């Protein structure tokens, strides 16, 4: 058996001013053909899972492009055209080189392309056009997918991540590969049901450790254990996308039993609707959070949930840092501050120098103004580290030239300024620059939820902070125009039944 594999991935925050150009893909994650297999073999990633399952089943994988750009505004037309054309060229070559039995895709589900709202729908339409209606196509999706009904119709089966932080992407990839193999062998005939749920869910309320997610997932797994059910997926959606398919959804595939799929999907969708109030969030005001963190038993992790580059923000928000400096916080580390200028300035003067820095607040006017301060250059690195935490274990991260600046003298506030926009979700983002998070009173991380996978065991407590930013849980800061309405909680009095 031969499976063609790849995927173009992006999570689009349509409120971001930063377009996803081809450079953004290349600096985050991009590989094509055999290089993709070489790079991901042995990692706990989507493609790593496809490879291991294919090896186990004796299936040959024919790889094309698999790429991912740090979330931001829509994928540019040029970045899209280049990648989809290369993908289709590879698919044509693969088809010419012998029979392809199925397409095994790793897609995100919340990609918007310049002028095309439904990015994954477009990807599927283009590959489907080439392979025809009978070729099995399956896809793995992120928990943050904003799935369109059109996408669901174009695939034979889909499997979404169950967890956030996404620690099961590998397991879901293995599950999906086995399903595709069974379809090709004729052992199963998937029939599916799908339901969009009219709820905007806050990212922080989508954390797998919350009661609502624990309960929803338990129901999902119980449904998967019922005879005749092949797989079930719940998605929370990515709320910072002002497009019609944004929101939560449920999906169930059964073995040739549409009525069963329909009954199960209704249960899953109704559950999320009934718990809709639990999918909202209320973070703590900045001043209150900083004061608490300075006086409680540490380490205290302050989560800058509104400036999560993984959700398309600038990652150079300054308002929490401003408060820390004003209160002369000690034993404090902040990561990662996207600031290539400051990293370069520190690199030019070298370790041991004191510079007049202008930190952060440069990308847009939505995340606070730059902070002007004297800062001591404590360390410089090339920004490379391997992830030892539960997310993408074994894969490497390159955050570019990185400087650790110390503000307020020895034992003061260390700010990790780096060159590529990236969330400090793995503790090695700090350890690789000489900061041991367990030895600090306060650790500030710009991220919504992913940091929890690695940092939860390292700190005493986590406090989500209400700073300004494009991933704030505060919906009133956004001017939504294109969502399908009504949707909760923007239309608080609406009623709905699955
Ligand atoms: Zn996600």
Over the stretch 191-210, which tens digit does the pLDDT of each residue have? 999 999 999 999 999 999 99
What is the whole-number distance in angstroms between the Cα of residue 4 and the centre of ligand 1? 24
> What is the total residue count of the chain?
498
- Averaged confidence pLDDT in the chain: 97
Q: What is the mean pLDDT of residues 37-56?
A: 96
Q: Please give the share of the chain, as a percent, with pLDDT higher than 90.
A: 96
Among candidate residues 63, 46, 149, the one with its CA nearest the CA of residue 103: 63
Rounded-to-integer distance, Cα 465 and Cα 284, Å:
5
What is the pLDDT confidence band of residue 477, given thresholds at 50, 70 and 90? Answer: confident
* Lowest pLDDT segment from 53-57, 91-95, 261-265, 471-475: 471-475
* pLDDT at residue 474 is higher than 90: no
**Torsion angle (degrees, nearest 10) of CA 181, 185, 187, 192:** 60
Cα(400) to centroid(ligand 1), Å = 23
Mean pLDDT of 422-436: 97
SS percent in the chain: helix, strand, coil, step 5: 35, 25, 40
Residue 95 phi, psi (nearest 5): -65, -35
pLDDT tens for each residue of 121-164: 999 999 999 999 999 999 999 999 999 999 999 999 999 999 99
Contact 11, 166 (CB under 8 A): no
How far does the centroid of ligand 1 lie from the alpha carbon of residue 449, in Å? 10
In this predicted structure, the answer to whether residue 97 has a pLDDT above a threshold of 90 is: yes
- Distance, CA 33 to ligand 1 centroid (Å)? 25
Of 39, 83, 78, the C-alpha closest to 64 is: 83
Q: Are 179 and 138 in contact (CB under 8 A)?
A: yes
Report how far ligand 1's centroid is from the alpha carbon of 272 (Å). Answer: 18
The Å distance, Cα 241 to ligand 1 centre, comes to 13
Say whether 121 sits in a helix, a strand or coil. Answer: helix
Q: How confident is the model at residue 283 (pLDDT cuts 50, 70, 90)?
A: very high
Residues near 394 by beta carbon (within 8 Å), at least 6 away in sequence:
42, 43, 44, 386, 387
Q: What is the pLDDT of residue 476?
A: 86
Instruction: Rank 41-45, 365-369, 411-415 by mean pLDDT and report only the highest.
Output: 411-415
Domains plus CATH for the chain?
A: 2-279 (3.40.50.2300), 284-471 (no CATH)
| Both tokens assigned to 460 | 């005493």
Over 90: is that where the pLDDT of 338 sits? yes
Q: Note the pLDDT tens digit of each residue in 437-469.
A: 999 999 999 999 999 999 999 999 999 999 999
Q: At what angle do helices 286-295 and 319-326 cross, to 10 degrees?
A: 50
Tell which residue, 309, 315, 338, has the closest CA to residue 401: 338
Instruction: Note the pLDDT tens digit of each residue in 359-392.
Output: 999 999 999 999 999 999 999 999 999 999 999 8
Quick one: average pLDDT of 488-496?
Answer: 97
Ligand 1 centroid, distance to 166 Cα (angstroms): 7
Q: For residue 422, how far is its CA from the centre of ligand 1 (angstroms)?
A: 14
172 close to 179: Cβ distance less than 8 angstroms:
no
Q: Which residues of 442-468 are buried (b: 16+ CB within 10 A; e: fewer)?
A: bbbbbbbbbbbbbbeebbeebbbbbbb
State the average pLDDT over residues 393-409: 95
Q: Burial level of 262, CB count in 10 A (0-12/13-18/19+)? A: middle
Q: Is the pLDDT of residue 282 over 90?
A: no
């Amino acid at each position: 058996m031969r499976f063609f594999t790849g995927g173009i991935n992006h999570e689009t925050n349509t409120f971001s001013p930063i377009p996803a150009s081809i450079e953004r893909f290349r600096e985050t994650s991009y590989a094509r053909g055999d290089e993709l297999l070489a790079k991901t073999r042995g990692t706990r990633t989507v493609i790593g899972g496809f490879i291991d399952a294919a090896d186990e089943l004796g299936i040959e994988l024919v790889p094309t492009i698999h790429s991912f750009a740090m979330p931001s505004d829509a994928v540019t037309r040029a970045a899209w055209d280049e990648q989809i054309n290369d993908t289709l060229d590879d698919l044509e070559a693969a088809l010419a080189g012998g029979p392809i039995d199925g397409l095994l895709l790793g897609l995100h589900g919340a990609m918007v392309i310049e002028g095309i709202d439904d990015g994954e729908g477009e990807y599927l339409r283009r590959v489907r056009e080439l392979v025809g209606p009978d070729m099995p196509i399956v896809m793995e999706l992120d928990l943050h997918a904003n799935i369109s009904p059109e996408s669901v119709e174009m695939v034979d089966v889909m499997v979404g991540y169950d967890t956030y932080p996404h620690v099961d992407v590998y397991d879901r990839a293995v599950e999906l590969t086995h399903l595709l193999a069974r379809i090709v062998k004729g052992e199963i005939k998937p029939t599916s049901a799908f339901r969009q749920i009219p709820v905007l869910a806050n990212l922080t309320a989508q954390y797998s450790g919350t009661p609502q997610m624990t309960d929803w997932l338990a129901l999902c797994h119980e449904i998967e254990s019922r005879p005749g059910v092949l797989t079930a997926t719940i998605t929370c959606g990515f709320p910072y996308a002002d497009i019609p398919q944004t929101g939560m959804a449920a999906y169930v595939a059964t073995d040739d039993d549409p009525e069963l799929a329909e009954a199960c999907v209704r249960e899953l969708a109704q559950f999320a609707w009934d718990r809709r109030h639990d999918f909202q969030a209320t973070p703590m005001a900045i001043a209150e959070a900083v004061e608490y963190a300075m006086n409680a038993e540490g380490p205290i992790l302050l989560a800058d949930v509104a400036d999560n580059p993984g959700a398309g923000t600038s990652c150079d928000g300054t308002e929490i840092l401003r408060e820390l400096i004003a209160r002369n916080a000690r034993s404090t580390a902040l990561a990662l501050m996207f600031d290539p200028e400051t990293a370069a300035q520190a690199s030019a003067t070298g370790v041991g120098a004191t510079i007049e820095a202008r930190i952060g607040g440069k990308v847009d006017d939505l995340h606070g103004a730059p902070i002007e301060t004297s800062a001591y250059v404590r360390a410089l690195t090339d920004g490379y580290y391997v992830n030892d935490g539960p997310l993408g274990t074994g894969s490497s991260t390159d955050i570019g030239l990185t400087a650790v600046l110390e503000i307020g003298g020895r034992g003061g506030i260390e700010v990790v300024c780096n060159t590529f926009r990236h969330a400090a979700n793995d503790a090695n983002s700090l350890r690789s620059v000489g900061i041991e998070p367990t030895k600090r009173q306060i650790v500030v991380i710009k991220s919504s939820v992913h940091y929890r996978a690695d940092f939860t065991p390292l700190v005493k407590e986590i406090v989500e902070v209400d700073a300004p930013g494009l991933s704030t849980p505060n919906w009133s800061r956004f001017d939504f125009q294109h969502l399908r309405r009504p949707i909760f909680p923007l239309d608080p009095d609406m009623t709905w039944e699955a």
